[in-house]
């Protein structure tokens, strides 16, 4: 067993870390402040090939393994959690699923453009009454002579502000829940899509979240995978997405620890830096240990994703552990920085808000515990 990155993975990480420091970190505060989708940063990422990290080389991507992708998402999220999760939606939830289940024509039309960054992607699964209970799809896809009419509402669709294409899930067999959902590949300029900006959010501001109302016509050619098999595809995509969110959380947690350490070395009380006090050291030791343990789970889940068809339990464990560890890391960092951190506009204040969503999207922590429990109960 070798728990180290390969030379190629380390070299890619160094490249992405340099990109994040030069192009992402300087813009992170402004993305948070304005709440505007970071079009310029995404263009810069595209120029470095970072919108096609996991896309096979045959479709113009970098064709990287999931461990490389995971460490890249961690490095980018350390600079900006918003940019990190936007890339996770684009890659794990859409491009990977298209590569996995798309027809040759769909890949020719969209995968190349996603890999080059010419097109950005969104994933529309959640509805007002289908969040954790995602199988409760109320959006209906009704049969027409040449395809389907899709009518319904999707909520919290990340990247929707700038996306050119979305994977949209809709019920094709009412009453069958997860057995009767179909996935459709829908260009965002299809007539009949109404976009409504999401109300202001606590963190990962600038993610371009929108609610989407659909009354559209699509053809049979736009079905992704097989009819009625869409829910299974959504769950497949979320396995990769949870590795991505775990990596995002690790990046936020590491940024929080870095802030706290820099502060603890210079802030003096009772005549010495607070880093000298065991009370402060133990907080740092605990959160650094928890993040490192979560990182091992993220690497393990990424490796499982590369090697096996199902990585359901591994990816849920990684997301659960990393998001909760990162939440504690940002909380302890805030405690160490005290009033200096509590100030509106401080970096730790942003990280403290950003980290919270990692315990909510792509399945809440309760949903991850349900998946893990089902997996371990079935296996033993």
Ligand X SMILES: Cc1cc2nc3c(=O)[nH]c(=O)nc-3n(C[C@H](O)[C@H](O)[C@H](O)COP(=O)(O)OP(=O)(O)OC[C@H]3O[C@@H](n4cnc5c(N)ncnc54)[C@H](O)[C@@H]3O)c2cc1C
Binding site for ligand X (CB under 6 A): 89, 123-126, 131-133, 156-158, 201, 204, 207, 209, 357, 360-364, 366-367
What's the full length of the chain, in residues? 380
Q: Min. distance of Cβ 100 from ligand X in angstroms?
A: 18
Q: What's the DSSP call for residue 199?
A: P
Nearer to ligand X, 134 or 313 (CB): 134
What token pair was written down for 250?
């690790």
Q: Min. distance of Cβ 26 from ligand X in angstroms?
A: 23
Q: Min. distance of Cβ 364 from ligand X in angstroms?
A: 3
Nearest to 74 by CA among 64, 87, 84: 84
Residue whose Cβ sits closest to ligand X: 131
Nearer to ligand X, 82 or 172 (CB): 82
Beta-carbon-side half-sphere exposure of residue 154 (alpha carbons within 13 Å): 27
Beta pairing class for 147-157 and 165-171: unpaired
**279 vs 289: CA distance, rounded Å:** 16
> 């940063």: which residue's tokens?
41
Which residues, 6 or more positions from 301, have their beta carbon under 8 angstroms from its beta carbon?
242, 243, 246, 311, 314, 315, 317, 318
Q: Min. distance of Cβ 161 from ligand X in angstroms?
A: 11
Nearer to ligand X, 9 or 239 (CB): 239
Q: Min. distance of Cβ 214 from ligand X in angstroms?
A: 13
Q: Are 122 and 89 in contact (CB under 8 A)?
A: yes
The CA-atom distances, in angstroms, between 145 and each of 5, 129, 220, 228, 231 are 53, 30, 10, 18, 24
Nearer to ligand X, 346 or 358 (CB): 358
Nearer to ligand X, 106 or 368 (CB): 368
Q: Min. distance of Cβ 379 from ligand X in angstroms?
A: 21
Nearer to ligand X, 131 or 178 (CB): 131
Q: What's the DSSP call for residue 198?
A: P
Beta pairing class for 147-157 and 210-219: antiparallel
**258 vs 101: CA distance, rounded Å:** 40
Nearer to ligand X, 207 or 371 (CB): 207
Over its C-alpha atoms, the chain yields an Rg (Å, rounded) of 21
Q: Min. distance of Cβ 355 from ligand X in angstroms?
A: 12
Q: Min. distance of Cβ 70 from ligand X in angstroms?
A: 19
Please classify residue 90 by burial: count the beta carbons closer than 10 Å to its beta carbon, then call 0-12 exposed, 13-18 middle and 19+ buried. buried
Share in percent of the chain as helix, strand, coil (round to 5) = 60, 15, 25
Nearer to ligand X, 82 or 222 (CB): 82
Q: Min. distance of Cβ 270 from ligand X in angstroms?
A: 42
Nearer to ligand X, 130 or 275 (CB): 130
């Amino acid at each position: 067993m070798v728990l180290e990155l390969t030379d190629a993975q380390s070299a890619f990480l160094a490249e992405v870390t340099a990109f994040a420091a030069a192009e992402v970190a300087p813009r992170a505060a402004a993305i948070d402040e304005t709440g505007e989708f970071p079009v310029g940063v995404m263009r810069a990422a595209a120029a470095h090939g970072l919108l096609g990290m996991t896309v096979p080389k045959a479709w113009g991507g970098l064709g990287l393994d999931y461990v490389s992708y995971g460490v890249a998402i961690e490095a980018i999220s350390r600079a900006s959690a918003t940019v990190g999760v936007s890339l996770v939606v684009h890659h794990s939830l859409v491009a990977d699923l298209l590569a996995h289940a798309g027809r040759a024509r769909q890949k020719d039309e969209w995968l190349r453009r996603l890999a080059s960054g010419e097109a950005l992607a969104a994933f529309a699964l959640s509805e007002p009454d289908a969040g954790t209970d995602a199988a409760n799809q109320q959006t209906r896809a009704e049969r027409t002579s040449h395809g389907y009419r899709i009518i319904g509402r999707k909520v919290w669709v990340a990247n929707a502000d700038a996306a050119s294409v979305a994977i949209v899930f809709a019920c094709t067999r009412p009453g069958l829940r997860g057995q009767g959902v179909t996935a459709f590949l829908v260009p965002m300029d299809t007539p009949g899509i109404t976009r409504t900006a999401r109300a202001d959010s606590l963190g990962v501001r600038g993610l371009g979240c929108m609610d989407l109302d659909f009354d559209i016509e699509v053809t049979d050619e736009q079905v992704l995978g097989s009819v009625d098999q869409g829910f299974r595809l959504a769950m497949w995509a979320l396995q990769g997405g949870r590795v991505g969110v775990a990596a995002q959380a690790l990046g936020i947690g590491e940024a929080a620890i870095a802030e706290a350490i820099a502060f603890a070395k210079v802030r003096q009380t009772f005549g010495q830096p607070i880093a000298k006090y065991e009370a402060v050291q133990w907080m740092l030791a605990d959160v650094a240990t928890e993040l490192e343990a979560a990182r091992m789970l993220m690497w393990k889940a990424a490796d499982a994703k590369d090697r096996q068809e199902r990585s359901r339990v591994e990816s849920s464990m990684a997301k659960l552990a990393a998001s909760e560890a990162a939440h504690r890391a940002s909380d302890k960092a805030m405690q160490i920085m005290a009033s200096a951190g509590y100030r509106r506009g401080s970096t730790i204040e942003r990280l403290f808000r950003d980290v919270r969503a990692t315990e909510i999207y792509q399945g809440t922590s309760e949903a991850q515990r349900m998946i893990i429990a089902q997996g371990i109960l079935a296996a033993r």
